[in-house]
Structure formats: structure tokens, C-alpha cells
Amino acid sequence: MKLRIGTRGSRLALAQAEEIRRRLADTGVEAELVPMVTSGDRGAPISASPSGLKGLFVAEIERALRDGDVDLAVHSAKDLPAEEEDDLVITAVPERASPLDVLVTRDGELRPGAVVGTSSLRRQAQILRWRSDVLLKDLRGNVDTRLSKLEEGEVDAVILAAAGLLRLGIVPEHAAPMSVAEMVPAPGQGCLALQARTSDDETRSALSALDDPESRVALEAERAVMHKLGGGCALPLGAFAAVQDHRVKLIAIVASPEGARLVRAEVEAVTAAEAAERAAAELFAGGAGEILAAVRG
């Protein structure tokens, strides 16, 4: 049995897919990488995807999976739209890497008036909540591109996912992890989602050895609350779940992009679905619907 792994062709995506290839090899399953270029990699506008920003990075890979050109796909879980298709399934979620964001500065300081580069509404809103004295600059591109723009002085700081830095083996000189109290991560951040055809029992069986139950439950809770909030697009929402003492603890936030309003829910429940239901109810009761409607509008 030799599996074909569909992946984006970026350095980070290839590192993630290679990690899965090695782990499959440890279980006796041979696999090869099949790199692809997605609409998002080509710079397509958000309007090009029915699922918004997230769909730009997965549509071509999912199409190849459906067509039988690859047997599984390795995704950064935070790139997957909230809606799942019946013919494709997240078969395994390996043990999660750090879900945290990291603030990387050029010289170790974030001074008043510093320019922080990020294109994420979630990150913009939250950093303005605790540092209203900084300026924001829309900054896109892969990890290497953003770090280069920091080094060149285009910005004074960038916010990156800790998991991405770890998987690329990059250790910036001035990097400070941000706690969940400061910056609630994107739903699924730090998780890899291994996707297969629902009907492909052989591949699903091979992938089952890589599944980490607690990471899977956490991802299910975060994706469920995202789904309830209509998070198919790039929205200023964060969610982080963890399993502790057989209970699911979930923190979720919705914030206005300028940071003026932030609604936060912290719940715990027996199941991922119940935790998401409670968190969504608290967020809507606090006015999350109005914030999201204004962003979409």
C-alpha cells in the first residue's frame, strides 16, 4: 500500500505533509507527497471561493481527493472551512502542536506607535485590546516573507503561529509567546487535519493510528463553535479547547476589528458539541451577532 498525500507546495505545508509521511512510515505505510498550487497561493481574491478566505487554500486539494488523484490531504486545520462535505471526512487529528500565537519584534520591544503587521482580523482586534497605542499594517505572505519584511523595517513586529515556527525550525531572536488571555488562537491553530474520502476504508484505517483523541475532541469543539457563528469567512473570532479531567473546556471570543468590543465565553462540558453550544449561546447573548453582522456588512 502506497498512499499519495495531497498538500500545498509552501515550505510550511510541505514540512507538515512530510511529518505525516514519516509517521505513516513508522506504522509500516509507505506514502509520497503530491504538492499542489491552490487559488490562495496564486493570490486569488476572497470572492473567488464560496467558503471565503479559508476555501482558497483547500479547494484544489479537495478536488484532487475527490477525483482520486490523491488518497489523503494534509491541511492546517485552521484553513478548513467550518462546513464539511459528506464525501470527505477528517479521518485523523495527530497530537496538536502549540496553539499559541507568537509576537515577534525586531529588537525585543513593542514601543508606542510601533507598526504591527498582520492580515488577521482576529489578531488585529485582540492586539488593539491590550495595546491600543500600536499601529496596524496589513501584511500577507508566508512565514519567511513576513519575517523578511520585519527584518527590512517595513513593520516593527509580526504575529505568527507558534506551530508554524516550530514545524519550520525557525527560532526568531525576539519572540514572545502570547497567552490565551492575551490572544485567543484561531479555531484549529496548531492542529493538522488528515482528510480522506468517506468511502475509502483502507486509507481511513491506515490513518487511524495517527489520531490523537484529545486533539480531535478539541478541534471538534473549536470547529463546532466556528460553524455556529457562521465562520466560513475571515472573521474576528477565536476559539481554544482542551480536554481536562474528561471534560471539554472551551474559550471563544468575537471582537470588533478595531478592538472596541470583545465578547468572551468560557465554558466546560462533557462533549465537544455541548461545549460549542454553550459557548455560542453566551457569545450571541453578549452581542456577537451584531459584531459579526457589521463585519460581514
Compute the CA torsion angle 118, 122, 128, 130 (nearest 10 deg): -120
Which of 79, 101, 156, 200 does the annotation list as catalytic? 79
The CATH class of the 226-296 domain is: alpha beta
| Secondary structure (3-state) at 17 | helix
The amino acid occupying position 261 is R
150-202 pLDDT tens trace: 999 999 999 999 999 999 999 999 999 999 999 999 999 999 999 999 999 99
- pLDDT of 53 over the 60 cut: no
User: What global pTM score does this model have?
Assistant: 0.91
- Quick one: 101-178 is in which CATH superfamily? Periplasmic binding protein-like II (3.40.190.10)
Instruction: Identify the pLDDT of residue 56.
Output: 64
φ/ψ (deg, to 5) at 144: -60, -40
Task: Report residue 39's pLDDT band, with 50, 70 and 90 as the boundaries.
Answer: low
Q: Could you read off the pLDDT of 95-130 as tens digits, one per residue?
A: 999 999 999 999 999 999 999 999 999 999 999 999
Confidence class of residue 277 from pLDDT cuts 50, 70 and 90? Answer: very high
Q: What is the DSSP letter of 217?
A: H
Rounded Cα gap, residues 169 and 33, in angstroms: 20
**Average pLDDT along the chain:** 92
Q: Residue 276: which of 243, 241, 244, 247 has the closest Cα?
A: 241
pLDDT of 232 reads: 57
- Round the CA-based radius of gyration of the chain to a whole number and report it: 19
Q: What are phi and psi of 234, to 5 degrees?
A: -80, 105
18 close to 46: Cβ distance less than 8 angstroms: no
CATH fold match for the domains 2-92+191-210 and 101-178: yes
Q: Give pLDDT, residue 296.
A: 86
Q: Does residue 138 carry a catalytic annotation?
A: no
Rounded CA separation 297/291 (Å): 10
- Tens of pLDDT, residue by residue over 205-258, are 999 999 999 999 999 999 999 999 987 557 899 999 999 999 999 999 999 999
Name the CATH topology of 2-92+191-210.
D-Maltodextrin-Binding Protein; domain 2 (3.40.190)
Cell 481511513 maps to which residue? Answer: 204
Q: Domain spans of the chain?
A: 2-92+191-210, 101-178, 226-296
Strand partners for 197: 88
Taking only the tens place, the pLDDT of each residue in 198-220 is 999 999 999 999 999 999 999 99
